[in-house]
Amino acid sequence: MKLIKVSLLFSCLVVSSVATGTERIIVAGYGLENLQMDIQDECPKDTICPNLWFRYVINVKKAIKGNAEGQLIAVRKQHGELEMDRGEVSIFILSKIDDSNLQKKLNAEFYVEEYSKPKTVYCFNSELEHIGLVTEDEITYTPSGMWKTHCIKEDELSN
């Protein structure tokens, strides 16, 4: 098995986790809803934090780790609504909300730790600049013992 190092730049989002369960559940499924709930928490003074609760409705296609099936409700604190294509299979990292009072308040059993939409990248052996592709978000990786590979996201090719 080849070890692949991937260098990606992610924007960081500080989230105070409400889930106390250490066991993560990973599912592939369809995000049917991502709607703001009528619950707001205060943000500590002099900090930037997501203080809006959002309700996710997820139709589980396959449990990758842990047990989950059918349609489930999960929540997450975030800054705004996420665009979710109901026809795309996405990956959701969930944790169980152990506090029964918090479950009742949020009307959910799970907390969304992470959400990832499918992404397509195209990779070349040449540097992107040398073949005439300009990108602001180049992804590079070097398979073990191989040459450096340069990748560009599909949506950047269509611009």
Distance CA 144, CA 150 (A): 15
Distance CA 109, CA 115 (A): 17
Helices (H) and strands (E) in the chain, counts: 2, 9
Extract the tokens encoding 132: 């005439």
Q: Are 37 and 53 in contact (CB under 8 A)?
A: yes
Give me the pLDDT at residue 59, please: 97
Give me the pLDDT at residue 22, please: 64
Domain ranges of the chain: 12-116, 121-157
Mean pLDDT by groups of 10 residues along the chain of 159 residues: 30 36 87 88 74 92 95 90 86 95 93 90 87 82 82 78
